[in-house]
Amino acid sequence: MNAAPEATSHEAAASADRLKITEIFLSLQGEARQVGWPTVFVRLTGCPLRCQYCDTAYAFHGGDWWHVDDILAEVARHGVRHVCVTGGEPLSQKRCIGLLQRLCDAGYEVSLETSGAIDIGEVDPRVSRVLDIKTPGSAEVHRNLWSNLPLLTPRDQVKFVICSREDYDWAKSVVAEHGLADVCEVLFSPSYTQVSSRELADWIVADRLPVRFQMQLHKILWNDERGR
């Protein structure tokens, strides 16, 4: 008589450790401070945002349920130190917090790419958080969770994807207003098809802006091919 409830509680415990995963693959980190390192990417499924330049819309839906132990085993199989948890918006799955902790406990250098729309307060402090600030040109500026900014530390990075000169001017004033360059590295990237890299680089140099220009290495190397 007691067998069914027991089985149900086992199932509940097992499902509590599962995450919806779009893909796990080995590549070079294409951006941010860890650029160039061989890195395992764990791409979680789902995102509540719809940035107009999104290059990972295939991660919005679908995916497969993975137990966290199986994710750890798959990461270990690739044999590298750096792991990037990305999406979609990985924090849209609450269990991402536990996954990040397990990866840190296992000794990896862990980074998290997050949209800036979800609270980062519970993320393990050993994780390097790469927090987007969505510009007006992204079409998702209203999703910025400004209460995340006081939580940033020098381990973290803030990223703006710049879609136009208006976006650049807006981002420049956000950096100044919040003193972001004094807290952590600030990254400016061109939206691939909307602003030329040269143009953005020239604006940054002309203004002597305390930000790091970056181009996405994986787009240059592999033309944004999925799984690279």
Q: What is the contact surface with ligand SF4 in residues (CB under 6 A)?
A: 47, 49-51, 54, 56, 87-89, 115
Question: Before 88, cis peptide (omega within 30)?
Answer: yes
Q: Cβ(26)–Cβ(83) under 8 Å?
A: no
CB 136: neighbour CB atoms within 10 A? 14
CB 220: neighbour CB atoms within 10 A? 11
152 is in an annotated binding site: no
Torsions phi, psi for 174 (to 5 deg):
-65, -40
29 is in an annotated binding site: yes
Give the residue with the Cβ less far from ligand SF4, 115 or 128: 115
**Residue 67 bridge partners (DSSP):** 18
Give the residue with the Cβ less far from ligand SF4, 50 or 67: 50
216 is in an annotated binding site: no
Q: Cβ(81)–Cβ(111) under 8 Å?
A: no
Give the residue with the Cβ less far from ligand SF4, 50 or 165: 50
Least gap, CB of 57 to ligand SF4 (angstroms): 7
Residue type at 35 in one-letter notation: V
Take residue 109 and report the two structure tokens written for it: 């250098």
202 is in an annotated binding site: no
Least gap, CB of 109 to ligand SF4 (angstroms): 22
Least gap, CB of 105 to ligand SF4 (angstroms): 27
Least gap, CB of 12 to ligand SF4 (angstroms): 29
163 is in an annotated binding site: no
Q: In the block, which residue shows the tokens 């924090």?
A: 91
Give the residue with the Cβ less far from ligand SF4, 51 or 85: 51
Least gap, CB of 143 to ligand SF4 (angstroms): 8
Give the residue with the Cβ less far from ligand SF4, 97 or 141: 141
54 is in an annotated binding site: yes
Three-state secondary structure string covering 92-142: HCCCHHHHHHHHHHCCCEEEEEECCCCCCCCCCCCCEEEEECCCHHHCCHH
Pairing of strands 82-86, 64-67: unpaired
184 is in an annotated binding site: no
Q: Cβ(110)–Cβ(103) under 8 Å?
A: yes
Give the residue with the Cβ less far from ligand SF4, 86 or 128: 86
CA gyration radius, the chain = 19
Binding residues for [4Fe-4S] cluster: 47, 51, 54
Residues of each annotated binding site for substrate: 28-30, 43, 86
Binding site, residues?
A: 28-30, 43, 47, 51, 53-56, 86, 88
Binding-site positions for Mg(2+) read 56
